[in-house]
């Protein structure tokens, strides 16, 4: 699943490709991937332009000229593939090599056609992703469903302290909860916990002030570094230029089970099969 750094990379790349292009046609092959009325969805997009692309957590927000917003969530296996002439620029989940002649393929469930003959495909193998048109009021409601993300100015030590206070679930469960903290996913939670030397399965309320301070910084630092290197890839994420993310070489624990910890060199990386429903990686020597 693309996480915040991967979605932000896609946002930045698409911002250079589709801004101010007129949408002339929308094709919906899987109506269930459109939240709400499909005729209304088409009507709101056709003859509109995308004038800005923003993001909240892992949610992409396309701003339209008709004062409406196209919300797009890639979920587990979603892809956004931009095509113009013979060039394909994909971003999102893993995909095989795609030839221009192969599009649309069996996973191309929503297709947006632009006036200059370029196209934006929303592909999704498992069909968990969605697109939705909302007005300003409903956009505000949607945004309120998310907590503060670690890149926000409101991301303070006090905020994190209040989130963790009285939580008797695992630290990882709290960090993954988008209502508390927006944008953190499995990869970057494991890595942030490693940087702050805290086991992900610790009870959230058990963290000391010093540990919270370290975790607060680690969450922000790990996301900034991952964005800098265009996300992580381990045969899944590709950015919208078709390039793999480059953050994988900086991973300390995620999917490193059985390898010697490159920081302490005293123990191997362990994997707990399920913490908050996810495989979880940590170093028993470094993290307590």
**At 237, is the pLDDT very low, low, confident or very high (cuts 50, 70, 90)?**
low
Residues of the chain with pLDDT > 70, as a percent, come to 92
The encoded tokens of residue 14 equal 């698409």
Catalytic residue among 11, 56, 58, 199: 58
- DSSP notation for 110-150: EEEEETTS-EEEEEESS---EEEEE-HHHHHHHHTTS-B-T
Is 287 within the bounds of a domain? no
Q: From 111, 143, 175, give the residue that closes a domain.
A: 143
For the segment 122-178, what is each residue's pLDDT rounded down to a tens digit? 999 899 999 999 999 999 999 999 999 999 999 999 999 999 999 999 999 999 999
Catalytic residue chosen out of the listed positions 2, 5, 150, 200: 2
Looking at the fold, whether 96 and 197 belong to one and the same domain comes out as no
Strand, coil or helix: 227: helix
Q: Are residue 88 and residue 132 in the same domain, yes or no?
A: yes
The more confidently predicted of residues 102 and 151 is 151
Bigger pLDDT: 110 or 87?
A: 110
Say yes or no to pLDDT of 234 above 60: no
**Residue 279 DSSP class:** E
Q: Is residue 148 part of a domain?
A: no
Does residue 239 share a domain with residue 196? yes
Same domain membership, residue 209 and residue 170 = yes
| Whether residue 278 lies in the annotated active site | yes
Catalytic residue among 55, 119, 214, 278: 278
pLDDT band for 239, please (50, 70, 90 cuts). Answer: low
Q: What tokens were used for 250?
A: 């900086």
Q: 20 lies in a domain?
A: yes
Q: How confident is the model at residue 94 (pLDDT cuts 50, 70, 90)?
A: low
- Does residue 152 sit within a domain? no
133 and 42 in a common domain: yes
C-alpha pair distances (Å), 16 with each of 26, 87, 270: 21, 15, 41
Q: pLDDT value at position 103?
A: 85
28 plus 103 within the same structural domain: yes
> 53-62, 89-98, 216-225 — which is least confidently predicted?
89-98
Residue 108 shares a structural domain with residue 224:
no
Alpha-carbon span 247 to 245, nearest angstrom: 6
Residue 119 domain boundaries: 4-143
Residue 100 a catalytic site member: no
Which residue among 77, 109, 143 closes a domain? 143
Compute the mean pLDDT over every residue in the chain, rounded to the nearest whole number: 92
116 and 87: one domain? yes
Residues 137 and 167 in one domain: no
Lowest mean pLDDT among 115-119, 231-235, 252-256: 231-235
**What is the three-class DSSP state of 226?**
helix
Q: Per the domain annotation, does 288 fall within a domain?
A: no
Average pLDDT over residues 275-279: 87
Taking the C-alpha atoms of residue 252 and residue 254, their distance in angstroms, rounded to an integer, is 6
Whichever domain contains 107, its CATH number is 3.20.190.10
Residue 219, domain CATH: 1.10.8.50
Q: What is the mean pLDDT of residues 241-262?
A: 88
Query: Is residue 122 situated within a structural domain?
Result: yes
The last residue of one of the domains, among 84, 108, 143, is: 143
Residues 191 and 107 in one domain: no
pLDDT of 76: 85
21 assigned to some structural domain: yes
pLDDT at 222 over 90: yes
Is 90 exceeded by the pLDDT of residue 108? yes
Number of domains forming the structure of the chain: 2
pLDDT, tens only, 8-30: 989 998 999 999 999 999 999 99
Domain annotation covers residue 169:
yes
Is the domain of 127 the same as that of 169?
no
Same domain membership, residue 89 and residue 174 = no
Residue 2 annotated among the catalytic residues of the structure: yes
């Amino acid at each position: 699943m693309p996480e915040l750094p991967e979605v932000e990379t896609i946002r930045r790349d698409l911002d250079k490709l589709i801004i101010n292009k007129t949408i002339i046609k929308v094709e919906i092959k899987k109506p269930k991937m459109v939240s709400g009325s499909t005729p209304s969805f088409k009507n709101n997009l056709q003859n509109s332009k995308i004038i800005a692309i923003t993001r909240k957590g892992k949610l992409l927000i396309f701003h339209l000229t008709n004062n409406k917003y196209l919300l797009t969530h890639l979920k587990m296996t979603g892809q956004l593939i931009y095509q113009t002439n013979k060039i394909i620029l994909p971003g999102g989940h893993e995909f095989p090599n795609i030839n221009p002649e192969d599009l649309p393929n069996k996973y191309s469930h929503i297709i947006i056609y632009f006036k200059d003959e370029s196209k934006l495909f929303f592909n999704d193998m498992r069909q968990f992703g969605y697109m939705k048109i909302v007005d300003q009021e409903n956009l505000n409601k949607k945004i309120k469903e998310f907590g503060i993300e670690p890149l926000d100015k409101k991301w303070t030590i006090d905020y994190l302290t209040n989130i963790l206070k009285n939580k008797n679930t695992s630290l990882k469960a709290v960090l993954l909860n988008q209502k508390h903290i927006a944008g953190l996913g499995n990869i970057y939670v494991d890595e942030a916990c490693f940087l702050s030397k805290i086991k992900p399965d610790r009870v959230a309320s058990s963290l000391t002030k010093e540990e919270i301070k370290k975790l607060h910084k680690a969450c922000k630092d790990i996301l900034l570094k991952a964005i800098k290197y265009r996300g992580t890839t381990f045969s899944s994420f590709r950015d919208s230029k078709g390039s793999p993310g480059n953050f994988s070489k900086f991973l300390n624990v995620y999917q490193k089970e059985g390898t010697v910890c490159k920081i302490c060199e005293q123990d191997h990386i362990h994997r707990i099969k399920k913490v908050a429903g996810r495989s979880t990686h940590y170093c028993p020597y470094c993290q307590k």
